[in-house]
A and B are shown apart, each in its own frame.
Chain A
Amino acid sequence: MKNHSMKRVIRFGGAVAFLGLASTASAIDGPQIIKENCLLCHSETGNAEAPFSRISQQRKTPEGWQTTINRMKSQRGLSLKPEHERVLIKYLADHQGLAPAETADLRYVLERQPNVVEQNVPEHVAGTCTGCHSSARSGLQRRTTDEWQKLIHFHMGQVPTIEYLAGHRDRPWFQIALNETAVKMGEGYPLQTQAWSDWKAKPKAALNGQWAVSGFVPDKGEFTAVMSVMPNQKDNYITLINGHYADGSKLTGSGSATVFTGYEWRGAIVIDGRKMRQVFAASEDGKQMAGRMYLKNDEVMGGRVLAEKADKAATLVSVTPSSIKQGASQTLIIAGANLSNKVSLGNGVKVEKVISQSADRLVVQVKADAKAAIGQRTLSVGKQTLENAVAVYDQVARVEITPTESIARIGGNGGPIPKRKSTYRAVGYAAGADGKPGTEDDLSLGYLPATWSLKAFDEVAEHDNDLKYAGSIDAKGIFTPGDAGLNPERKMSTNNVGNLAVVGTVKDGANSVSGEAHLLVTVQDFVKELIQ
């Protein structure tokens, strides 16, 4: 068996995003590549609907297919030319992919969103399948029941200890996984679905044109931009991006992107000299894209991006900040293209002046009357409107820090594995009509600027002096963990791990309101995966 495991050409994140860079045009097509490279071990079924054993009976995301092909290479001995690999993954993702509705709730793993605690994990998956990896890894696949059962057999063969792990060994894990979990998966996540046959039949929108974009990167803050998308080859685009960060400094970049399955946008782009990745989903009509953009070499450093097809039409994307205090003046940055400068937020909020207008944004100064009615306002810019865009409030009653549960991982210190940081933002709430914070009618004020500090999470952390060793947080809410390696200063040379609370404090007039999040600074992850 060949061992490629230590070979590292492109760092974590490279494999699929790399597809965004390269041509997938080829003289040889997907089925031909399968015939020439896979039939040593796989077989032809004779069924034209599902011609290849183990391959035609599953559907998954581009990252899902890449994972399987990687395993065929590293564990099974497949060798495949890089250009053929790209064509094959594109072919498989296009012909055996997932419909937009089938990925909508689980995009966080594709986007590499950090610090996600999964919600709504199916009962048959929780505990049986969540010990090692996300539930989304299986939720982003569709298979026949037989193929779900083969996946269980694969786990038994590949991870022989699986039956003996905590939470598994006290019950017949294999029988449960094979006869209950896999069967339920076959029912809930079958190969054939209405969503997929509808999506396959639908004509797919081309995504070239002008896009009005708004987004966030933790170390740079909010940004607005216009992204020009130019067709290159089929489903492959060249991108140019120009815009501003909130402080007015310029943002420029260029890159390329490949679209899989008619909507899965995977872009590689260099912005202001930094390599970034874009994992977006286009809406079914091709008029909107949403997802996450992050630094290629530091995937925690990223944030949400929203893009609206603008071309020549007036397009309103978003506004920040999304609240204004009664009696206060506030600068608003409105992301959008081809906008008029006629801004309104309803009674009691006056537009004092237009500060600037450019292709990607409109910056205005507004003032809320001291008696302006409290509540969410609709923003209108010319004929464009955005509902619940800006909240007028009396005072900040409560602050939540997101993410509430988080981890960071020690690293660096001369070792090959970089530190995994963690980033935080403060979300404010006013008390709402009942005057009580923490109730249903609290008014969300969106992200608010905050100052940041750390403290020991509990007595154990206090006793072990975790605060001293585990890392530090900066003015932007970016936590950088401590150095990797044994620390002889600590009891038993413990690593620089720690159990901390992140405290974010928002100033509201003369008041200060704080919120807390839990941060566990822990050890490295030695297995990087495309889908965690």
Chain B
Amino acid sequence: MHMYLHEEVLKQMKHLKSFNKKAKMLDAAVSQGDVEEVVAMQSVVGCTSVNDPGWEVDPFGGLGSLCQPMESDLYGCADACWWPAQVPDTMSSHPNWSQDVAKADEDWRKIDAIFPESE
């Protein structure tokens, strides 16, 4: 019933480790312990605490290290399934999310949220 990742996908995943320059800088600059402490303090229910970079909050509890404007990196986030509870992951759960909108920074008004399905 449970299909695990193909080798191919796994390789791509490894690549994600250095997905973002800021994340690298962060890894180098701050010890994990410090980061976790900041994040634990800042985490409001509904926000992700995956923070390299973060979605709502950066590892320092501010906004300065987020991808901004958000639209310019939106699909990178969705593909990588980085924050699946905040940005629909198009890799497995929501392959068709915003498929008609090629450029998020131009056509952001066409991008809707995923809603809990009811009838």
Question: Which positions in A face B, CB cutoff 8 Å?
Answer: 3-12, 14-15, 18, 66-67, 70, 73-75, 82, 85, 108-109, 114-118, 126-127, 130-134, 136, 153-154, 156-161, 163-167, 169-170, 405-407, 409, 413-417, 457-458, 460-461, 484-487, 492-495, 497-499, 520, 522-530, 532
B16 to chain A: which residues have CB within 8 Å? Answer: 161, 164
Instruction: Please determine whether A527 and B52 come into contact, CB atoms closer than 8 angstroms.
Output: no
CB contact under 8 A between A159 and B92, given known A5-B97, A8-B112, A118-B45:
yes
Besides the known contacts A163-B13, A167-B51, A485-B108, 18 further A-B residue pairs in the complex with CB atoms under 8 A apart: A5-B88, A12-B113, A14-B118, A116-B44, A132-B83, A132-B86, A153-B2, A161-B13, A161-B80, A167-B50, A407-B46, A407-B57, A415-B108, A416-B111, A495-B70, A498-B63, A499-B62, A532-B85
Of listed A85, A132, A530, residue having the most chain B CB within 10 A: A132
CB contact under 8 A between A130 and B62, given known A5-B114, A75-B93:
no
**For the complex, what is the distance from the CA of A10 to the CA of B118, rounded to whole Å?**
7
A14 to chain B: which residues have CB within 8 Å? Answer: 115-116, 118
B95 to chain A: which residues have CB within 8 Å? Answer: 3
A116 to chain B: which residues have CB within 8 Å? Answer: 44-45
Of listed B16, B23, B83, B96, residue having the most chain A CB within 10 A: B83
**For the complex, what is the distance from the CA of A160 to the CA of B84, rounded to whole Å?**
10
Instruction: Please determine whether A165 and B108 come into contact, CB atoms closer than 8 angstroms.
Output: no
**For the complex, what is the distance from the CA of A231 to the CA of B96, rounded to whole Å?**
44
A154 → chain B closest CB, angstroms: 7
A454 → chain B closest CB, angstroms: 15
CB contact under 8 A between A166 and B87, given known A118-B45, A416-B113, A460-B62:
no
B105 → chain A closest CB, angstroms: 6
Instruction: Please determine whether B84 and A522 come into contact, CB atoms closer than 8 angstroms.
Output: no
B117 within 8 A of A: yes
Interface size on B, residues (CB 8 A): 65
B81 to chain A: which residues have CB within 8 Å? Answer: 159-161
Q: List 5 A-B contacts (CB under 8 A).
A: A9-B118, A157-B3, A165-B50, A167-B51, A460-B63
B89 to chain A: which residues have CB within 8 Å? Answer: 159, 161
Chain B contact surface mostly: loop
B69 to chain A: which residues have CB within 8 Å? Answer: 486-487, 492-495
Instruction: Please determine whether B92 and A415 come into contact, CB atoms closer than 8 angstroms.
Output: no
B112 → chain A closest CB, angstroms: 4
Q: A523 touches which one: B43, B56, B62, B97 (CB < 8 A)?
A: B56
Q: B36 touches which one: A73, A127, A134 (CB < 8 A)?
A: A127
**For the complex, what is the distance from the CA of A106 to the CA of B73, rounded to whole Å?**
34
CB contact under 8 A between A406 and B82, given known A75-B93, A523-B55:
no
**For the complex, what is the distance from the CA of A3 to the CA of B55, rounded to whole Å?**
26
Instruction: Please determine whether A527 and B108 come into contact, CB atoms closer than 8 angstroms.
Output: no
**Quick one: CB contact mask for B53-80 with A, threshold 8 Å, 1 for yes?**
0011100001110101111000000001
What are the 6 A-B residue pairs with the smallest beta carbon separation, nearest first? A82-B119, A15-B118, A166-B52, A522-B56, A132-B85, A416-B112
Instruction: Please determine whether B48 and A132 come into contact, CB atoms closer than 8 angstroms.
Output: yes
* Minimal Cβ-Cβ distance residue in A for B68: A494
Instruction: Please determine whether B68 and A492 come into contact, CB atoms closer than 8 angstroms.
Output: yes
A153 to chain B: which residues have CB within 8 Å? Answer: 2
Instruction: Please determine whether A530 and B116 come into contact, CB atoms closer than 8 angstroms.
Output: yes
A160 to chain B: which residues have CB within 8 Å? Answer: 5, 9, 13, 81, 91-92
Instruction: Please determine whether B116 and A528 come into contact, CB atoms closer than 8 angstroms.
Output: yes
* Minimal Cβ-Cβ distance residue in B for A75: B93
CB contact under 8 A between A134 and B45, given known A15-B117, A154-B2, A529-B116:
yes
**For the complex, what is the distance from the CA of A186 to the CA of B41, rounded to whole Å?**
28
Instruction: Please determine whether B68 and A164 come into contact, CB atoms closer than 8 angstroms.
Output: no
A3 to chain B: which residues have CB within 8 Å? Answer: 94-96
Instruction: Please determine whether A405 and B42 come into contact, CB atoms closer than 8 angstroms.
Output: yes
Instruction: Please determine whether A158 and B118 come into contact, CB atoms closer than 8 angstroms.
Output: no
* Minimal Cβ-Cβ distance residue in A for B117: A70
Instruction: Please determine whether B92 and A158 come into contact, CB atoms closer than 8 angstroms.
Output: yes
B74 → chain A closest CB, angstroms: 8
Of listed A116, A133, A495, A525, residue having the most chain B CB within 10 A: A525
Instruction: Please determine whether B17 and A169 come into contact, CB atoms closer than 8 angstroms.
Output: yes
Instruction: Please determine whether A66 and B52 come into contact, CB atoms closer than 8 angstroms.
Output: no
**For the complex, what is the distance from the CA of A157 to the CA of B6, rounded to whole Å?**
11
